[in-house]
Amino acid sequence: MNIENMEAFVYVNHYGSFNKAAEVLFLSQPSVTARIQTLERELDCKLFDRQGKQILLTEKGKQFLPYAQQIIQTLQKGRLHLQERGARPQELRIGSTVSVSNYVLPDILPKLRSLFPEMTFKMTTASTDDLVAKLMDREIDIAFVRKLVHPSVQSFPFYEDPIKLYVYEGHPFAAAGRVSLHEIRHQTLVFFECGSLDWLRLHRVFEYLEHPPHIVFHADNHETAKKLVLRKVGICFLPGLSVKEEVAQGKLIPIEIEETNGISLQTNLITLTGENAEFIEAIIAKESMYNI
């Protein structure tokens, strides 16, 4: 059974798209499709179903996925052991935005350590623009940043974090779970924004209101914004990663608003073109196992 076919299967599942998987694997979309079809013939079962624009695993696909992931990870470990010790740097310098530093790296780093036990890891937290500059100056090796296009940088989609309205326990919206944009116009809002185009989309949604939203608190970081909501002084639009624990504990409740569906923050993994391939591959291959 061809390892490359299993790799295509894992990547299509991870990205939910044949096109995105092809981009990351440096293949054409038809090539990825052909690899999946070959694997399906070898396994004598269908691995994916299409539902509109969505690509979903079949039951057989769900059963096979952990085995394919394990095979690819084992192969990666084997390749690493065969490489000369001196061929790899002893320190991996990782840059990240604040949200990734707070909510993603604590899950990623222990798993990277298990793959590269001889290495040390140095973290740098900064804005996307600063991280790109540090990458160009070779002050860091890889970085988790907002989506970008740069001629000297390879960029790989890593995670999309939906932006939703969150209210505190006991808020009138909590029981309904869904409200219209019009219903929030009299609510006390805490507003946090990180300056990305996705937050600009949220601002544009508000332009459809006859009266501007009642924004009382402007916060420059999501931790402050989240704590204000927890203290029941207002409600706030926040990225899902920043409130994961509070939602699980029932302290914050996500509210669906039709007009804001689909707005999310995309985090990409970047490196200088042609460099650090083994680290990029290891992170992407194990991403589905992270608690994010």
172 and 257 part of one domain: yes
139 and 206 part of one domain: no
3-state SS track over the chain:
CCHHHHHHHHHHHHHCCHHHHHHHHCCCHHHHHHHHHHHHHHHCCCCEEEECCEEEECHHHHHHHHHHHHHHHHHHHHHHHHCCHHHCCCEEEEEECHHHHHHCHHHHHHHHHHHCCCCEEEEEECCHHHHHHHHHCCCCCEEEEECCCCCCEEEEEEEEEEEEEEEECCCHHHHHCECCHHHHCCCCEEEECCCCHHHHHHHHHHCCCCCCCCEEEEECCHHHHHHHHHCCCCEEEEEHHHHHHHHHCCCEEEEECHHHCCCEEEEEEEEECCCCHHHHHHHHHHHHHCCC
278 and 147 part of one domain: yes
User: Is the confidence at residue 105, as pLDDT, over 60?
Assistant: yes
Q: Read off the CATH number of the domain in which 129 is found.
A: 3.40.190.10
* pLDDT tens by residue, 250-272: 999 999 998 888 888 888 999 98
Q: Read off the CATH number of the domain in which 27 is found.
A: 1.10.10.10
203 and 221 part of one domain: yes
144 and 278 part of one domain: yes
Give the domain-ending residue among 45, 65, 82.
82
Q: What is the pLDDT of residue 170?
A: 93
The stretch 3-21 carries a mean pLDDT of 89
The stretch 206-220 carries a mean pLDDT of 79
Band (pLDDT 50/70/90 cuts) for residue 249 is: very high
Q: What is the pLDDT of residue 202?
A: 75
* Residue 190: strand pairing partners: 217, 236
Give the domain-ending residue among 57, 82, 107.
82
20 and 99 part of one domain: no
257 and 168 part of one domain: yes
What pTM does this model have?
0.63
260 and 181 part of one domain: yes
User: Is the confidence at residue 23, as pLDDT, over 90?
Assistant: no
258 and 165 part of one domain: yes
Q: What is the pLDDT of residue 92?
A: 93
238 and 143 part of one domain: no
User: Is the confidence at residue 79, as pLDDT, over 70?
Assistant: no
Count structural domains, the chain: 3
Q: What is the pLDDT of residue 262?
A: 83
The stretch 168-197 carries a mean pLDDT of 84
Give the domain-ending residue among 82, 117, 132.
82
Average pLDDT, the chain: 85
The stretch 104-129 carries a mean pLDDT of 91
175 and 119 part of one domain: no
User: Is the confidence at residue 193, as pLDDT, over 80?
Assistant: no
User: Is the confidence at residue 291, as pLDDT, over 70?
Assistant: no
Distance CA 63, CA 59 (A): 6
* Residue 253: strand pairing partners: 167
User: Is the confidence at residue 287, as pLDDT, over 80?
Assistant: no
Which residue range forms the structural domain that includes residue 201?
160-265
62 and 109 part of one domain: no
